[in-house]
Amino acid sequence: MSDPVVPVAIGPDGANTVLLEKAVVEGGAVVGAREEAKGLIWVGGPNDFPAELPASVEWVQLPAAGVEDWFAAGVVERFPHIRFTSAAGAFAASVAEHALTLLLAGVRYLPEHLRADRWRQQDFFPHVGSLRGKTVTIVGAGGIGRALIPMLTPLGAHVIAVNRSGRPVTGHGIPDTVETVSADQLGKVWSRTDHVVVAAPATAATHHLIGADALSRLKPSSWVINVARGPLIDTDALVEALRRGAIGGAGLDVTDPEPLPDRHPLWSLPNAIVTPHDSNPPQLRLAAFADHVAENVRRFVAGEELLAPIDPARGY
Cis peptide before 259 (omega within 30 of 0): yes
Q: Of 179, 258, 264, 299, which one is the catalytic site residue?
A: 258
By CB under 8 A, is residue 41 in contact with a copy of itself? no
CB-neighbour burial class of residue 21 (10 A; exposed 0-12, middle 13-18, buried 19+): middle
Sites for a copy of itself among residues 191-210 (CB under 8 A): none
To a copy of itself, the closest distance from the beta carbon of 262 in angstroms equals 5
Residues 152-181: x where in contact with a copy of itself by CB under 8 A, - otherwise, as a string: --xxx----------------x--------
Task: Name which of 15 and 155 has its Cβ closer to a copy of itself.
Answer: 155
Kindly state the smallest distance separating residue 150's Cβ from a copy of itself, in Å. Answer: 4
- Measure the CA–CA gap between 267 and 263, rounded to whole angstroms: 7
**Dihedral angle sign, alpha carbons of residues 63, 66, 69, 71:** positive
Helices (H), the chain: 18-26, 68-72, 75-78, 92-107, 110-115, 121-124, 143-152, 212-217, 235-244, 282-302
The active-site residue out of 83, 277, 285, 299 is 277
Query: Number of residues in contact with a copy of itself, rule: CB under 8 A?
Result: 52
d(CA 70, CA 311): 12
- From the CB of 181, what's the least distance to a copy of itself, in Å? 23
- Which residues of this chain interact with a copy of itself, rule CB under 8 A? 93-94, 97-98, 100-101, 104-105, 108, 110-111, 113-114, 116-121, 124-126, 128-133, 150-151, 154-156, 173, 259-260, 262, 267-268, 273-279, 281-284, 287-288
